[in-house]
Amino acid sequence: MPSNRRLFPFLIAAVVVVLDRLTKVIIKAHVSAFDSITVIPGLLNIVHTENPGIAFGMLSNASGAWRGILLIGFSSAVLIAISAVLLRGQMDAWLRAGLGFILGGAFGNLYDRIVNGTVTDFVEAHAGQHYFPAFNVADSAITVGACLLLLDMWWARERKVSHVSEVNIDR
């Protein structure tokens, strides 16, 4: 496989990490904890929260030492597994891109967790009084990556069904 295809997901991951770090540094420098800046009234705010848990604040109340060990260990295992899959061989471009986004997002949040013990979240979406938990660039990248993986699985299934149909028609 050409080296540029092999490096493409790592380039995506690097861009995600840089954007994640940059936005978190800006938020920490310019938005006080628990402040809220309205970007789109009734829809989007910029906030500054520190999440000691995982997605949506799960595990926030777990014991600090065990929580940290568990989350750092799990994140590290994900980074190693994704890197191994990416270095292993051939795969569709959408799958490589999706894994690159997930790799960058996982690394961005892992960095925060190791350095600060928490993950900085700052985007808050809501509709009226219904609020979605705050998130960050790394979380967004993980979500985009997961969506790309789902699309790749769907397209692979469609290709397989199409191939099976073509084989059956030829008989």
Query: Which listed residue (20, 112, 139, 152) is catalytic?
Result: 139
DSSP character for 63? -
How many CB atoms sit inside 10 A of residue 89's CB?
Answer: 8
Check if 170 is active-site: no
* Residue written as token pair 């490589």: 96
Helix, strand or coil for residue 39? strand
CA pair distance 68, 62, nearest whole angstrom:
9
Check if 139 is active-site: yes
Radius of gyration (C-alpha) of the chain in whole angstroms: 19
CA pair distance 90, 61, nearest whole angstrom:
42
| Among candidate residues 93, 108, 92, 112, the one with its CA nearest the CA of residue 143 | 108
C-alpha torsion 54→19→126→110, nearest 10: 0
Query: Which listed residue (35, 92, 112, 121) is catalytic?
Result: 121
User: Active-site residue numbers?
Assistant: 121, 139
